[in-house]
């Protein structure tokens, strides 16, 4: 884990450091080698949280996109205690958990975690099977075909995201799309707030006339880091034998800001955005 407790303070591992596990209270020792990421490990060498995976660059990259205090949050329900990778306090006083899963996981464990965390989203590291995962752009959404699918990953009942490396993605728009489309124009004399607010460009026509044109950005998406939201997958006859489905592709930064927006009381325009902008996690 990234954070151990030293005198009650959440502290990152440092060479020779000793801390206490925030989950079980056992002693932690700092593992600060040159290969693995510096982290805390239980002195007994086995993590008290059986759901815990070893710290990887992948986990860390995701966790660190969230504020420190939302990372590795201990959640206790009755006698059961677990450490959520990320836990976001929502505006209505509830908790929303982000589970990051790098290694294969059984359907049983998926069910267990979903029952424990209740309100949550899965983010699976799809690096290892990304080459078998083909995405086709359908404009409003993207369909996928998955050779040799990992069936357990389709047993989730909570929003499910696959984190794909950039190499498998066919960019949604070719790069020769012009940066702006002009949707409205007028003569220079009629210029208005558009000019003042710098929302337009000045153009000089062949006859020397100066006009203004309102510009709006054309989204030319060159994803660097992608998550694919599984909206639906289809069985091909035999139960659980899916290979195809559809969903939405988005970049990881957008997903994080969407998740963090759960802390804010929804405002009218936000719910509008969610209907039109096909945000990947609208189904929650
Ligand atoms: Zn512990």
- Contact (Cβ atoms closer than 8 angstroms) between residue 100 and residue 63: yes
Separation of CA 50 and ligand 1 centre (Å): 10
**Boundaries of every domain in the chain:** 1-48, 54-171+225-276, 180-217
Separation of CA 276 and ligand 1 centre (Å): 44
Separation of CA 117 and ligand 1 centre (Å): 19
DSSP H/E element including 272:
helix 268-276
- Contact (Cβ atoms closer than 8 angstroms) between residue 218 and residue 180: yes
Query: What does the pLDDT read at residue 188?
Result: 57
Separation of CA 156 and ligand 1 centre (Å): 27
Q: Determine the Cα angle at 66 with ends 144 and 143, to 5°.
A: 5
Query: What does the pLDDT read at residue 123?
Result: 95
- Contact (Cβ atoms closer than 8 angstroms) between residue 100 and residue 66: no
Query: What does the pLDDT read at residue 76?
Result: 92
Separation of CA 46 and ligand 1 centre (Å): 8
Separation of CA 38 and ligand 1 centre (Å): 17
Separation of CA 260 and ligand 1 centre (Å): 27
**Residue 119, class by beta-carbon neighbours within 10 Å (0-12 exposed, 13-18 middle, 19+ buried)?**
middle
Kindly list the distances between the CA atom of residue 23 and the CA atoms of 47, 52, 136, 212, in Å, as whole numbers in the listed order: 10, 11, 43, 62
State how far the Cα of 123 lies from the Cα of 271, in Å rounded to an integer.
Answer: 23
Separation of CA 31 and ligand 1 centre (Å): 15
Query: What does the pLDDT read at residue 189?
Result: 57
Q: What is the CA radius of gyration of the chain?
A: 24
Please tell me what DSSP assigns to residue 168. Answer: G
Separation of CA 41 and ligand 1 centre (Å): 9
Which parts of the chain sit beneath pLDDT 70?
166-202, 210-225, 236-240, 266-284
State how far the Cα of 154 lies from the Cα of 138, in Å rounded to an integer.
Answer: 22
Query: What does the pLDDT read at residue 226?
Result: 83
DSSP H/E element including 63:
helix 57-63
The terminus-to-terminus CA distance of the chain in angstroms comes to 28
Q: How much is the pTM?
A: 0.72
State how far the Cα of 201 lies from the Cα of 215, in Å rounded to an integer.
Answer: 7
Separation of CA 257 and ligand 1 centre (Å): 30
Separation of CA 49 and ligand 1 centre (Å): 7
Q: 95-111 burial by CB neighbour count: b if 16+ within 10 A, else e?
A: bbbbbbbbeebeeeebe
State how far the Cα of 17 lies from the Cα of 104, in Å rounded to an integer.
Answer: 31
């Amino acid at each position: 884990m990234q954070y151990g407790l030293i005198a009650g303070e959440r502290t990152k591992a440092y060479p020779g450091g000793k801390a206490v596990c925030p989950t079980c209270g056992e002693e932690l020792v700092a593992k600060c080698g040159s290969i693995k990421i510096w982290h805390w490990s239980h002195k007994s060498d086995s993590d008290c949280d059986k759901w815990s995976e070893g710290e990887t660059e992948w986990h860390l990259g995701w966790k660190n996109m969230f504020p420190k205090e939302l990372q590795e949050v201990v959640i206790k329900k009755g006698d059961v205690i677990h450490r959520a990778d990320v836990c976001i306090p929502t505006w209505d006083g509830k908790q929303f958990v982000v589970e990051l899963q790098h290694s294969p996981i059984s359907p049983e464990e998926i069910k267990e975690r979903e029952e424990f965390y209740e309100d949550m989203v899965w983010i699976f590291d799809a690096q290892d099977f990304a080459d078998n995962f083909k995405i086709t752009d359908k404009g409003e959404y993207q369909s996928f075909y998955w050779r040799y699918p990992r069936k357990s990953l389709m047993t989730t009942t909570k929003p499910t995201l696959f984190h794909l490396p950039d190499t498998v993605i066919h960019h949604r728009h070719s790069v020769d799309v012009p940066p702006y489309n002009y949707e409205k124009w007028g003569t220079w004399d009629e210029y208005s707030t558009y000019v003042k607010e710098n929302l337009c460009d000045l153009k000089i026509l062949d006859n020397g006339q100066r006009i203004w044109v309102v510009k709006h950005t054309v989204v030319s998406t060159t994803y660097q880091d992608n998550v694919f939201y599984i909206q639906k997958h289809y069985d091909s006859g035999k139960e659980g034998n899916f290979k195809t489905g559809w969903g939405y592709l988005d970049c990881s930064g957008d997903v994080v800001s969407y998740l963090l927006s759960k802390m804010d009381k929804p405002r009218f325009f936000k719910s509008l955005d969610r209907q039109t902008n096909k945000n990947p996690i609208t189904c929650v």
